[in-house]
């Protein structure tokens, strides 16, 4: 087409009222996807088990756990396989040692106190590894033992678990942080069970809220019901939601291998160990003071039935009561991505300054990708401040759809759940 013809065509288009917007008229880049949760640290603090402890590597080696988890493609599949192993391992010890003494977790302070009084000290240690020694020496274990063994096995693979107590029967279970799902998940390694809704595993708080709403999440027996049938627990499992989810508390320390660890309790006016965080949607503080005896479990506070719940407190334990679920359910090993925004539009481009934030207790690297995860590269991470690590990165946009990913690498080679930002320019 000649220059003269081109000019005439453009003039005709202009006369028809159609024009191409100038760069100044074009809207700024807009965010169309931001899959990067807010990151924060638990305000009541938390003590994690150290996955780099040599004793945990020895656990992997001695019990051939790498063979147990063979074929797993992510941390959730590893978790399921380790729960099945735990259920069968502790049950086998209990069957062999039927009638033997119950295993007892003991803190270093309890051991030293017994020695100072000239008494025989309890067996040393409170981790799953320590309780396994007692089992293999002839002891037997209940729900707490199953779940401490499970937590040690998880820690050996860099997966975080913590003590959770549900009641009023006061059953000990485990909360597990799953990088695959990006959330805390309730797991009971004694029954080899967890709950799900719409195919997503649930936390204890989610289960409680569904129960409150009249829903019934699906209970998954990861061993196909093997343990339940063997122990004739069918009736208990059938009533599990009704019996065990009237209340739940999270123990804010899981560093069972540490000599600094102590059991959470409240005796003779003295608090020991970490507090238990009790998340409730109710103002239960006004009910505290009514003491009732239930199932011979020391003394407990029971609040009046409200919206189908009884709120139960054992007086030998110390609690923090909160109505904010984030006090017990905070994000781990994920990256928050902060952008310069006005609404959903970027205020700085094409070079976009990003602030990357994570709470990753055993961080080994933070990585980013600007090519849809085809290649990852490390970014420089600042020193820890109040449990958070941060990094700065300048993201250069191109016309069209731009995708940014960020993730952390943690202990034992764990890769956190990637965060994603999508911007259209």
Distance in angstroms (rounded) separating the CA atoms of residues 80 and 224: 12
Other beta carbons less than 10 A from residue 94's beta carbon:
19
- For 280-322, what is each residue's pLDDT tens digit? 654 444 444 444 433 333 334 444 443 334 455 565 667 777 8
pLDDT at 321: 76
Please state at what angle helix 54-62 crosses helix 143-155, rounded to 10 degrees: 100
CATH classification of 30-40+331-424 is 2.60.40.650, yes or no? yes
Task: Give the length of the chain.
Answer: 425
Distance in angstroms (rounded) separating the CA atoms of residues 337 and 33: 12
Q: Among residues 273, 107, 83, 105, which one has the least CA distance to residue 159?
A: 83
pLDDT at 34: 97
Per-residue H/E/C for the chain: CCHHHHHHHHHHHHHCCCCCCCCCCCCCCEEEEEECCCCCCCCCCCECCCCCCHHHHHHHHHCCHHHHCCCCCCHHHHHHHHHHHHHHHHHHHHHHCCCCCECCCECHHHHHHHHHCCCCCCCCECCHHHHHHHHHCCCECCHHHHHHHHHHHHHCCCCCEEEEEEECCCEEEEEEEECCCCEEEEEECCCCEEEEECCEECCHHHHHHHHHCCCCCEEEECCCCHHHHHHCCHHHHHCHHHHHCCEEEEECECCCCCCCCCCCEEECCEEECCCEEEECCCCHHHHCCCEECCCCCCCEEECCCECCECCEEECCCCEEEECCHHHCCCCCCCEEEECCEECCEECCCCEEEEEEEECCCCCCEEEEECCCCCCCEEECCCCCECCEEEEEEEEECCCCEEEEEEEEECHHHCECCCEEEEEEC
Return the CA Rg of the chain. 27
pLDDT at 279: 80
What do you get for the CA distance between the two ends of the chain, in Å? 31
In the numeric block, the tokens 């009971």 are attached to 188
Peptide bond into 350 cis (omega under 30): yes
- What's the half-sphere exposure (Cβ side, CA atoms, 13 Å) at 353? 4
pLDDT at 281: 54
What are the residue ranges in the chain where pLDDT is below 50? 1-23, 282-310
Q: Where are the domains of the chain?
A: 30-40+331-424, 54-327
- For 78-101, what is each residue's pLDDT tens digit? 999 999 999 999 999 999 999 898
pLDDT at 7: 39
Going by DSSP bridges, is the β-strand pair 183-187/193-197 parallel, antiparallel, or unpaired? Answer: unpaired
pLDDT at 153: 98
In the numeric block, the tokens 């028809």 are attached to 16
pTM of the model: 0.86
Distance in angstroms (rounded) separating the CA atoms of residues 236 and 242: 10
Distance in angstroms (rounded) separating the CA atoms of residues 369 and 66: 30
Joined tokens for residue 60: 């992997």
Distance in angstroms (rounded) separating the CA atoms of residues 381 and 352: 18
Residue 411, exposed/middle/buried by CB under 10 A (0-12, 13-18, 19+)?
buried
Q: Which residues pair with 250 in a beta bridge?
A: 164, 277
Joined tokens for residue 405: 């990913």
Please state at what angle helix 128-136 crosses helix 54-62, rounded to 10 degrees: 40
Largest pairwise CA distance in the chain: 108
**Residues 6+ away with beta carbon under 8 Å from 241:** 207, 211, 216, 217, 219
């Amino acid at each position: 087409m000649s220059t003269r013809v081109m000019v005439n065509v453009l003039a005709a288009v202009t006369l028809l009222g159609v024009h191409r917007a100038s760069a100044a008229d074009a809207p700024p880049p807009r965010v169309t996807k931001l899959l990067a949760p807010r990151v924060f640290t638990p305000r009541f603090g938390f003590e994690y088990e150290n996955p780099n402890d040599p004793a945990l590597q020895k656990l992997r080696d001695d019990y051939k756990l790498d063979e147990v988890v063979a074929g797993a493609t992510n941390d959730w599949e590893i978790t399921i396989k380790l729960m099945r192993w735990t259920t069968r391992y502790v049950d086998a010890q209990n069957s062999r040692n039927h009638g033997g003494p119950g295993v007892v977790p003991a803190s270093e302070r309890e051991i030293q106190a017994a020695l100072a009084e000239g008494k025989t000290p309890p067996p040393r240690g409170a981790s799953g590894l320590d309780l396994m020694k007692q089992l293999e020496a002839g002891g037997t274990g209940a729900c707490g033992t199953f779940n401490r063994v499970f937590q040690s096995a998880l820690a050996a693979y860099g997966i975080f678990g913590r003590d959770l107590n549900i009641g009023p029967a006061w059953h000990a279970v485990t909360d597990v942080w799953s990088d695959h799902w990006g959330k805390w998940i309730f797991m009971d390694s004694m029954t080899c069970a967890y709950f799900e809704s719409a195919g997503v595993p649930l936390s204890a708080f989610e289960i409680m809220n569904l129960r409150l709403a009249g829903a019934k999440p699906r209970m998954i027996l990861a061993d196909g019901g093997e343990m339940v049938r063997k122990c004739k627990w069918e009736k208990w499992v059938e009533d599990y939601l009704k019996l065990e989810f009237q209340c739940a508390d999270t123990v804010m320390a899981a560093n069972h291998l540490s000599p600094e660890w102590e059991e959470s309790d409240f005796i003779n006016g003295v608090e020991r160990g970490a507090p238990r965080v009790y998340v409730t949607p109710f103002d239960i503080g006004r009910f505290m003071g009514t003491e009732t005896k239930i199932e011979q479990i020391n003394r407990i506070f029971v609040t009046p039935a409200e919206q189908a719940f009884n709120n139960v407190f054992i007086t030998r334990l110390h609690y923090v009561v909160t109505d904010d679920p984030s006090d017990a359910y905070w994000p781990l090993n994920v990256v928050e991505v902060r952008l310069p925004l006005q609404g959903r539009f970027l205020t700085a481009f094409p070079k976009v300054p990003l602030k990357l934030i994570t709470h990753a207790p055993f961080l080994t690297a933070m990585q980013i990708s600007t090519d849809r995860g085809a290649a990852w590269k490390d970014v420089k991470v600042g020193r820890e401040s109040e449990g958070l690590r941060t990094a700065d990165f300048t993201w250069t946009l191109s016309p069209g759809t731009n995708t940014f990913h960020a993730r952390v690498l943690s202990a034992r080679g764990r890769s956190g759940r990637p965060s994603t930002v999508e911007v259209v320019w």
